[in-house]
Structure 1
Amino acid sequence: MNMQKALNPPPGECRQCWYHAYASREVHKHLKPREDCPECVDHMINGHGSDIVPKRESRWW
């Protein structure tokens, strides 16, 4: 995947989740097999907060 695209998630996506999923294998490299990433688990439990990329306002009228 293009690194620029990986660092700029589409509207409606979480910046951290997108980065962890697509940008860098280094993020999860330190984890053992089948070990959960603490940051990813925190986002699943507590939500994404202000990390969501805002969607553009719909204007079809």
Structure 2
Amino acid sequence: MAASQTPPGQCPQCWEHAHNPRIHRKLKAREDCKPCLDHMNNGCPYLVPKTASKWW
């Protein structure tokens, strides 16, 4: 089951593809997901907000 919200510091697309099995269910055996391959080759297209520093 997918999480209700993407945690801070995580790419929304990466998180959804990693935690929602319905996305990859339509793929055939040994077929790659094109958005996942694009992410692996080109990186995340989103500006991912980092968690606030609690050092100070």
Please give the TM-score of this superposition, normalised by the length of structure 2.
0.75
| Identical pairs, percent | 52
Runs of 4+ in 1 over 4 A off after TM superposition: none
Task: Could you tell me which runs of 5 or more consecutive residues in structure 2 were left unpaired when the two chains were aligned.
Answer: none
Match of 2:15 in 1: 18
**What RMSD in Å do the two structures reach over aligned CA positions?**
1.8
More helix by share: 1
Task: Could you tell me which runs of 5 or more consecutive residues in structure 1 were left unpaired when the two chains were aligned.
Answer: none
Please give the TM-score of this superposition, normalised by the length of structure 1.
0.71
